[in-house]
Amino acid sequence: MNRLFALVRREYWENKGAFRTTPLVIGGIYIAFLLMSIFTTAHFDNEMYTFREAVRLLAGQTPEFRAAHGNELILGSSVFFSLVLAFVVFFYLLGALYDDRKDRSILFWKSLPASDTLTIGSKLFSAMVLAPLIFWAVFILTQIVMAAIASLMVISVGENPWTLFLSVVNPLSAWGILLVSYLATSIWFLPLYAWLLLVSSFAPRIPLLFAVLPPVVFAILQIWIAFLKTFTFNDSLFGLIGEWVANSPAIISVGADGSKGVLSLGIPLTSDFDHSVSLANILDRLFSTQMLAGLVVSAVFLALALWLRHRATDN
């Protein structure tokens, strides 16, 4: 356990820029945008008349209405964090078993009494738990700062932020469901993560190419063969990957529900399952046959990655 902890810390040290600085920068951008919009409003309307009216209008709505919309706002602002997190994790895994082979430091890491299984475990843990946790924590921090700024604004126009939204909106449930969604998404995308680790364990150079090219070639061949046979474009690996993303338990899109936009899990292209954001729906994705098949694929990829890591040296 101590060794796993030491290895995860090493991953954090090596990837501080991606894991810590990146979410902090995004949080900073959020706050900067909020301040900019306040100054813009104040610039054209120095009495803050519009803002005052908006607050008054909001105060006139029912607490339930304010709670629901506050919740949507919290989860909605997480989407950008989540997309950047996906990029960070993608490139982290692509380099995870490649970088130390390239700079030969694998010879140092392999001189330590830590098994290859533990090493791969520490990299998966960093991608699946550590990075999402840091992004999640920084996201919460950002929202607290933004809520503080918004409260000051509300006070400045003579209203009470406590009765207006602070006591009404309960951020804990939104933050909680976001964390569950992050961790569930990590499990959901394990087949992809395992593929990236596999590529990073064997790619002689440019792992990105090795990660992307084989599935692209495979999918194009599939589509071509299907076209020759049936003169239609049937399902291919592309379709499968697209479907996988669309069915994921990540909160990434706004689906149209009647007249208003509602946040949804994955991308609600089909009605195969309920896309609305709830704990039950997230867990439902994890206990699906799709997920089971994905875990089998992941196990194969990870076993191969481990086997290759076991053999890997500096050349």
56 binds another protein (CB under 8 A): no
Q: Report how far residue 55's alpha carbon sits from residue 70's, in angstroms, rounded to the nearest whole number.
A: 14
Residue whose C-alpha is closest to residue 251's, from 237, 242, 262, 238 = 262
5 binds another protein (CB under 8 A): yes
296 binds another protein (CB under 8 A): no
Nearer to another protein, 240 or 303 (CB): 303
Considering only 65, 87, 104, 156, the residue that binds another protein (CB under 8 A) is 104
Considering only 3, 20, 66, 69, the residue that binds another protein (CB under 8 A) is 3
Nearer to another protein, 56 or 104 (CB): 104
Where does 99-159 have alpha helices with state H?
Answer: 99-102, 106-109, 116-125, 131-156
In single-letter form, the type of residue at position 118 comes to L
Nearer to another protein, 6 or 216 (CB): 6
Q: Report how far residue 88's alpha carbon sits from residue 96's, in angstroms, rounded to the nearest whole number.
A: 12
The total number of residues shown for the chain amounts to: 315
- First-to-last C-alpha distance (Å) of the chain: 30
105 binds another protein (CB under 8 A): yes
103 binds another protein (CB under 8 A): yes
Q: Report how far residue 160's alpha carbon sits from residue 165's, in angstroms, rounded to the nearest whole number.
A: 9
Shortest spacing between CB 6 and another protein, in angstroms = 4
72 binds another protein (CB under 8 A): no
1 binds another protein (CB under 8 A): no
The two structure tokens encoding residue 293: 């098949």
Shortest spacing between CB 74 and another protein, in angstroms = 36
**CA dist 91 to 11, 19, 127, 197, 240, Å?**
13, 11, 10, 10, 22
111 binds another protein (CB under 8 A): yes
Subset of residues 253 to 282 that bind another protein, contact rule: CB under 8 A: none
311 binds another protein (CB under 8 A): yes
Q: Report how far residue 102's alpha carbon sits from residue 227's, in angstroms, rounded to the nearest whole number.
A: 41
Shortest spacing between CB 127 and another protein, in angstroms = 18
Q: Report how far residue 251's alpha carbon sits from residue 78's, in angstroms, rounded to the nearest whole number.
A: 8
Shortest spacing between CB 252 and another protein, in angstroms = 32
Q: Which stretch binds another protein (CB under 8 A): 74-82, 111-119, 134-142, 261-269?
A: 111-119
Cα maximum dimension of the chain? 71
Provide the binding-site residues for another protein, judged by CB under 8 A.
2-3, 5-7, 9-10, 13-14, 100, 103-116, 118, 311, 313-314
